[in-house]
Amino acid sequence: MTSTDKIPVTVLTGYLGAGKTTLLNRVLSGQHGRKYAVIVNEFGEIGIDNELVVNADEEVFEMNNGCICCTVRGDLIRIIGNLLKRKGRFDGILIETTGLADPAPVAQTFFVDDDVRDKAKLDSIVTVVDAKNLAARLQDSHEAAEQIAFADTILLNKVDLVPAADLHAVEARIRAINPTATIHRTERCTIPVDSILDRRAFDLDRILAVEPNFLGEDTHEHDDAVTSVAFQEGRPIDINKFNDWMGGLLRTRGQDILRSKGILNIKGSPDRFIFQAVHMLAEGDDGKRWGRDEPRVSKLVFIGRNLDGADLRTGFASCVAD
């Protein structure tokens, strides 16, 4: 099965009351002409009288593979396997998580389980954020920042309830955590379904648009805040050096590094090399060919806690090809 045959899976996260249910009901109404299966959490607000809706228990399991942060959603492995036995194809699967869920186990399930990897592909993580209450949420919970950190797409909802000046501040707050996500401003989650589903957002091309930033010594944070750091490198990268460095880095620091993503200009390759990781689980693949006149620049983004910008920059620089 090639990756284009795999069923795209969208993960929908966000705090209770942020507006996920409105969005789910729109997806289920089917007026967009596509058929999605929806996996809701057991405390979900959605009525379950729909054959496309499955209840899940959000059972997070530790894998017995020696990787301490390698947790997966056991219930998803079963449910997705079962959905694929049905006659007729779904256009996609949408997984709702509870407001308090850490998105990592959901994402990691798509890296770790062979059966799931064979048939399904994580298309994107969509996080619904309540524009009015975001600041308070970031204050009182770990999960709010994690949900933003993991997002490929962010719906900044309830923008009608917030003055324009405050909205800019909220967006800046989001950008500080996650510089690569697409942000949509919405009211009552009103957005065309196809602008959040089946986006192949994981092809990560947006990374190239990210301006490099650098956490200097003064901004090196030791508190629990989730921050991001982005690097740019004009010289070609040696893939072996990169794999060695990144492998070691994620093994030792993978608990704090929530996500890392990169588009790399590899010495000797005409194609972009696309790299992404969730905590310690990484995958790399060839991406689009570089254009003839396109500047071949490598970009690498880390999102996490306790990021040591200087150390990461030195590490990345050591991957430059001789």
Partner 1 sequence: MLLEDAPRVLAPRRRELAFDAAVTGVVFLADGTLAAGLGDGTVRLVTDDPAPQIAQPHRDGSAVLALAIDFDGAGVLTGGDDGRLARTAGDGMVTPLAEFPGRQVEVVAVSIAGGQSAVAAGREVSLLDQSGKIVAATADHPTTVTGLALNPKGKRLAVSHYGGVTLWWTGKLGEAPAQLRWRGSHIGVSWSPDGSIVMTTMQERELHGWRLLDGQHMRMAGYAAKVRSMDWLTRPMTLVTSGAECALAWKFSGGGPMGTAPIELGRGLGRLVTCVAVHPKRPLVAAGFDDGQVALCALKPADAVVRVRGIDGARITSLAWSRDGTRLAAGTAAGVVPIYDLVKTAASGPEAEGV
Cβ contact 259:208 at 8 Å: no
CA distance 39 to 48: 10
Residue 43 contacts partner 1 per CB under 8 A: no
Residue with tokens 């492998």: 247
In 3D space, the residue among 2, 25, 3 whose CA is nearest the CA of residue 190 turns out to be 25
Total binding residues toward partner 1, as defined by CB under 8 A: 25
Q: Please identify which residue in 2, 3, 31, 65 interacts with partner 1, judged by CB under 8 A.
A: 65
DSSP for 268-284, please give it: T-SEEEEEEEETTEEEE
Residue 290 contacts partner 1 per CB under 8 A: no
Structure tokens given for 251: 């093994």
* Structure letter (DSSP) for residue 135: H
Residue 66 contacts partner 1 per CB under 8 A: no
When the beta carbons of 87 and 292 are compared against partner 1, the nearer one is 87
Structure tokens given for 116: 């799931």
Instruction: Select from 20-28, 57-65, 122-130, 202-210 the region that touches partner 1 (CB under 8 A).
Output: 57-65
Q: Please identify which residue in 30, 57, 160, 286 interacts with partner 1, judged by CB under 8 A.
A: 57
52 HSE (CA, 13 A, CB side): 19
Residue 2 contacts partner 1 per CB under 8 A: no
Cβ contact 201:153 at 8 Å: yes
Site for partner 1 in 72-111 (CB under 8 A): 74-75, 77-79, 82-83, 85-88
When the beta carbons of 64 and 139 are compared against partner 1, the nearer one is 64
Instruction: Select from 69-77, 184-192, 197-205, 248-256 the region that touches partner 1 (CB under 8 A).
Output: 69-77
When the beta carbons of 88 and 291 are compared against partner 1, the nearer one is 88
Bridge partners (DSSP) listed for residue 228:
303
Binding region for partner 1 (CB under 8 A):
48, 51, 53-55, 57, 59, 61, 63-65, 74-75, 77-79, 82-83, 85-88, 113-115
